[in-house]
């Protein structure tokens, strides 16, 4: 517009905004869109790849438990069959070795859980001379290589004149499992609220009643976690067991011996069963935790 020879700009009206349309966005290349989506979800993708990497050996173990293989080596897929599951104890010595490992793991878990829990309560709830060195000494079995502990236990049993066998395996497993139970239960106790115990005492509960109805239920998740860890470590151990077992054969030792001649499919069956039991226990614990 011009007014008196001076050019002025026309003020926009609401109708001008109604008729205005934004320019179309610039099209991105297809590869750039995929890159942006991957950048937003990279953590999920990375976690999925890590889980796949961890579960590949388990998947192979489960798969080859159904392999139709009658030879020495169960390394090549030849077909699907459930015959090995029907005859899981068909290999001589396999089921006795599995039962023996379960017995050792159960006894070692009970002993290590009781002793480790008592030590954890003593370290967290009491002040005594030598508490610092005791904490340090408990980490030594966890930091010591298993071959060093195995040779040390072997020398100890030989010097004491003890016959190597089931008893020495249990003693050795309890010794290296105590540290793991102590660390697990101790972490649980340190996170407890001491005011709950003081409130129970204020309500005229004696020390034993407070421990039974307040302290122990609060510490029970840590105790159960320590027991499960001890059971898994004891059942899986080979190095220390190999030094102190004598003529006693556990499941890991049976698998090691069978690997020299060829692992039969029944070993995969037993491993799959143990994995299924462990997975079921983990799922039951997770569901119970969610309900509470």
pLDDT digits (tens, 9 = 90+) for 88-135: 888 888 899 999 999 999 999 999 999 999 999 988 888 878 778 888
What's the confidence (pLDDT) of residue 34?
66
What's the confidence (pLDDT) of residue 112?
95
Most confident of 77-81, 243-247, 278-282: 243-247
For 80, phi then psi, to 5°, come to -95, 135
pLDDT digits (tens, 9 = 90+) for 221-264: 889 989 999 999 999 899 999 999 988 999 999 988 887 777 88
What's the confidence (pLDDT) of residue 89?
86
What's the confidence (pLDDT) of residue 290?
64
User: For residue 181, which of 104, 108, 120 has the smallest C-alpha distance?
Assistant: 120
Mean pLDDT rounded to a whole number for the chain: 82
What's the confidence (pLDDT) of residue 98?
92
pLDDT digits (tens, 9 = 90+) for 45-75: 888 889 899 889 888 888 888 888 766 667 7
What's the confidence (pLDDT) of residue 258?
81
Domain boundaries of the chain, sorted by first residue: 94-263
Higher per-residue confidence, 175 vs 262: 175
Indicate whether 150 pLDDT > 60.
Answer: yes
| CB 264 within 8 Å of CB 69 | no
Mean pLDDT, residues 35-46? 72
What's the confidence (pLDDT) of residue 208?
84
pLDDT band at 292 (very low <50, low <70, confident <90, very high): low
Report the SS3 class of residue 144: coil
What's the confidence (pLDDT) of residue 212?
82
Indicate whether 147 pLDDT > 60.
Answer: yes
**Entry pTM:** 0.77
Residue with tokens 């349309």: 21
Q: Max alpha carbon distance in the chain (Å)?
A: 122
Higher per-residue confidence, 4 vs 287: 287
pLDDT band at 33 (very low <50, low <70, confident <90, very high): low
Superfamily in which the 94-263 domain is placed by CATH: MetI-like (1.10.3720.10)
- The per-residue DSSP string of 206-220 comes to -HHHHIIIIIHHHHH
What's the confidence (pLDDT) of residue 8?
57
Higher per-residue confidence, 256 vs 41: 256
Distances from the Cα of 207 to the Cαs of 10, 118, 185, 198, 210, in angstroms? 89, 16, 20, 10, 5
The Cα 68–Cα 264 span in angstroms is 11
């Amino acid at each position: 517009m011009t007014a008196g020879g001076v050019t002025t700009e026309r003020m926009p009206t609401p109708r001008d905004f109604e008729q205005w349309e934004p320019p179309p966005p610039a099209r991105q290349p297809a590869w750039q869109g995929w890159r942006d989506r991957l950048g937003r979800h990279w953590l999920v993708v990375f976690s999925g790849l890590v889980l796949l990497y961890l579960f590949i050996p388990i998947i192979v173990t489960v798969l080859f438990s159904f392999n139709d293989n009658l030879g020495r080596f169960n390394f090549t897929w030849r077909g699907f069959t459930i015959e090995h599951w029907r005859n899981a104890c068909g290999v001589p010595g396999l089921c006795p070795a599995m039962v023996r490992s379960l017995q050792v793991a159960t006894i070692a878990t009970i002993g290590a859980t009781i002793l480790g829990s008592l030590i954890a309560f003593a370290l967290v709830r009491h002040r005594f001379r030598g508490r610092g060195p005791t904490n340090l000494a408990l980490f030594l079995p966890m930091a010591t290589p298993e071959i060093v502990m195995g040779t040390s236990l072997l020398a100890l049993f030989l010097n004491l004149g003890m016959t190597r066998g089931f008893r020495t395996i249990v003693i050795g497993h309890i010794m290296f499992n105590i540290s793991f139970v102590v660390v697990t239960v101790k972490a649980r106790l340190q996170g407890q609220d001491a005011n709950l115990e003081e409130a129970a005492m204020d309500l005229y509960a004696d020390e034993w009643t407070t421990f039974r109805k307040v302290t122990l239920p609060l510490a029970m998740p840590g105790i159960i976690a320590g027991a499960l860890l001890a059971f898994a470590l004891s059942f899986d151990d080979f190095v220390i067991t190999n030094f102190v077992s004598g003529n006693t054969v556990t499941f890991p030792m049976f698998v090691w011996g069978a690997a020299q001649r060829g692992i039969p499919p029944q070993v995969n069956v037993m491993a799959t069963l143990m994995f299924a039991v462990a997975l079921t226990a983990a799922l039951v614990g997770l569901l119970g935790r969610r309900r509470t």
